[in-house]
């Protein structure tokens, strides 16, 4: 089996624990307004590679992967589910830590059996939740968030470690009510181990210019680190409040 791969990175430091070998899958159904990898959108492009070729590439640099492993990102890895399962299954046979960085948009109960199989070979899921409100989520990405929130619950019930990422964009995802709603949802994910609240930046704008695509967010200013920290504090407090409320209700 071969997968369509956009590129690989041999020294990833923000894509899971330790130093990671990062595999960028080609193809994504979402069109996030602040996506910094628009060159990975179109499916069926990139280099065709087998799981063994990618793992051999990892093995060539594994001495530098201190406390790490492989991370599959994109694009959207779940768009190539069968190949992803094979890759992770073979990685685990080699003793490699596996991390899936995903939007979760491709999750469906109809194909739940394949997701059960994938989770058997997945050590960590890093899930991007773009917005907790389904209408605003569609505005930002072109898709509702139903499957994404269901996937978060599925990962948690599967017992797989879960890291949540949330990008805070001025005027889009930074209102206090939405941040609190997100925290209340996260409070019920039993395998949640980390929350990364990331400030919106404009570094991806140059890619749009190179591809001849209009940058959707125009002159939206970057978010400061201080504002991102404040947003994370709001989410964390909401998590604590929801856990406390749930215990009291019992």
Number of domains in the chain: 1
- Domain containing 31 — which CATH number? 3.20.20.70
Contacts of 90 (CB under 8 A, 6+ apart): 51, 52, 55
pLDDT in tens, the chain (250 residues): 999 999 999 988 899 999 999 999 999 999 999 998 999 999 999 999 999 999 999 999 999 888 999 999 999 999 999 999 999 999 999 999 999 999 999 998 788 899 999 999 999 999 999 999 999 999 999 999 999 999 999 999 999 999 999 999 999 999 999 999 999 999 999 999 999 999 999 888 888 989 899 999 988 999 999 999 999 999 999 999 999 998 887 7
**Measured distance CA(67)–CA(74) in Å, rounded:** 22
For 136, how many CA atoms within 13 A lie in the half-sphere containing its CB? 15
Sign of CA dihedral 230, 232, 233, 239: positive
Contacts of 27 (CB under 8 A, 6+ apart): 4, 40, 41, 42, 43, 44, 45, 74, 75, 76, 79, 80
What pTM was estimated for this model as a whole?
0.95
C-beta atoms surrounding 194 within 10 Å: 13
Contacts of 10 (CB under 8 A, 6+ apart): 21, 22, 57, 61, 64
How far is the first Cα of the chain from the last one, in angstroms, to the nearest whole number? 50
**Measured distance CA(214)–CA(203) in Å, rounded:** 14
Instruction: List the domain range (segments joined by +) for residue 204.
Output: 2-249
**Measured distance CA(170)–CA(117) in Å, rounded:** 39
Q: Are strands 192-199 and 161-168 parallel, antiparallel or unpaired?
A: parallel
C-beta atoms surrounding 246 within 10 Å: 12
Query: Across 58-139, where does the E strand assignment appear?
Result: 69-73, 98-102, 124-128
**Measured distance CA(170)–CA(216) in Å, rounded:** 14
What integer pLDDT is reported at residue 203 of this predicted model? Answer: 82
């Amino acid at each position: 089996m071969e997968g369509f791969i956009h590129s690989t990175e041999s020294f990833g430091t923000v894509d899971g624990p330790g130093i990671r070998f990062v595999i960028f899958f080609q193809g994504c159904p979402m069109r996030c307004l602040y996506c910094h990898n628009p060159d990975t959108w179109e499916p069926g492009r990139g280099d065709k590679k087998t799981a063994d070729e990618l793992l051999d590439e990892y093995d060539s640099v594994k001495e530098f992967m201190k406390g790490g492993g492989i991370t599959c990102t994109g694009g959207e890895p779940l768009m190539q589910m069968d190949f992803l399962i094979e890759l992770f299954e073979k990685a685990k046979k080699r003793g490699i830590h596996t991390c899936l960085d995903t939007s979760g948009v491709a999750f469906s109960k109809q194909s739940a059996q394949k997701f059960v199989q994938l989770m058997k070979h997945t050590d960590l899921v890093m899930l991007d939740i773009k917005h907790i409100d389904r209408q605003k989520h569609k505005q930002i990405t072109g898709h509702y968030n139903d499957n994404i929130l269901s996937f978060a619950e599925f990962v948690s019930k599967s017992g797989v470690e879960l890291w949540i990422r949330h990008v805070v964009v001025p005027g889009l995802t930074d209102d206090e009510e939405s941040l609190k709603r997100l925290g209340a949802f996260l409070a019920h994910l039993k395998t949640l181990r980390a929350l990364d609240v990331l400030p919106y930046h404009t570094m991806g704008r140059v890619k749009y210019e190179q591809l001849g695509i209009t940058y959707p967010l125009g002159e939206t200013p970057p978010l400061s680190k201080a504002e991102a920290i404040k947003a994370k504090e709001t989410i964390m407090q909401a998590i604590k409040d929801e856990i406390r409320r749930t215990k009291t209700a019992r």
